[in-house]
Amino acid sequence: MIRIDGVSKCYGDTVALDGLSLDIDAGGTTVLIGPSGCGKSTLLRCLLGLVQAERGEICFGGRRLQDHDLLTLRRRIGYVVQQGGLFPHLDARSNVTLVAAWLGWSSERIAARLDELLALTRLPAAAMVRFPAELSGGQQQRVSLMRALMLDPDYLLLDEPLGALDPMIRHDLQIELRDIFGRLGKTVVLVTHDLHEAAWLADRIVLMRAGRVVQQGRLDELIRAPAEPFVEAFIRAQRSPLDSLAEPH
């Protein structure tokens, strides 16, 4: 499990994280949600050590982040960003296998793992010889997910992984992602600003505002017992106008 205790981070005068504390249970999917600038992406970067917190502590499995060897820890964490973050000069296969190759995996082992991941993400093998620019947005995110899962990490962090996709593809991928998370049983932390996506994928939703956790729980708990008026307002703002149009008068 991941324990976050009183973590603060400022960018100049802007407070990104304001003494935030949160426990993330092993094996479940936690979704961080909130308006832009609430610190959810910064929190993810702090977990990876990409951003150093000014105060507070982050522990992975009972050990503090700074006591871990950062490179080793990062290889136990898969990370997917919104635009895919694929290396444009490498084909999809090299993107996925780069770290395994550096670690000296045998080609049989790499090939076997690739097959598993292709099956998991439902990508055709032919896509592996293409360069990122030759893949569609959805395919890019699948390759990015394969790259994150290549070393079979304990944790999977996703920062708005579907944010750049158009609605239909996004919908299909949401369904697949839930299926994949369910099958893998890993500790997943996903950042989104879309409440529907959060409700669909999350075991637990963490609603953030201005660098703090406002409320956490399942969506129906947030609806039934909002901790403060902001929770109600946030949920109301995300209700689809389609719902109210479809309701009988």
| Interface contacts to other proteins, rule CB under 8 A | 45, 48, 50, 70-75, 77, 79, 81-91, 98-99, 102, 131-140, 142, 144, 147, 164-166, 169, 172-173
When the beta carbons of 36 and 72 are compared against other proteins, the nearer one is 72
CB 102, min distance to other proteins, A: 6
CA distance 205 to 221: 10
> 53 φ, ψ to 5°?
-70, 145
Strand order in the sheet with 29-33: 77-80, 155-159, 187-192, 29-33, 204-209, 212-217
When the beta carbons of 147 and 209 are compared against other proteins, the nearer one is 147
CA distance 164 to 138: 9
When the beta carbons of 30 and 139 are compared against other proteins, the nearer one is 139
CB 46, min distance to other proteins, A: 12
CB 182, min distance to other proteins, A: 20
Tokens 């802007």 correspond to: 14
CB 115, min distance to other proteins, A: 20
CB 243, min distance to other proteins, A: 26
Among 37, 94, 73, smallest CA distance to 157 is for: 73
When the beta carbons of 92 and 219 are compared against other proteins, the nearer one is 92
Largest CA distance in the chain: 65
When the beta carbons of 92 and 222 are compared against other proteins, the nearer one is 92
Alpha helices in 55-166 (DSSP H): 70-75, 92-102, 107-121, 137-149
When the beta carbons of 100 and 219 are compared against other proteins, the nearer one is 100
CB 86, min distance to other proteins, A: 7
Rounded CA Rg of the chain? 19
177: which 2 tokens? 């992602």
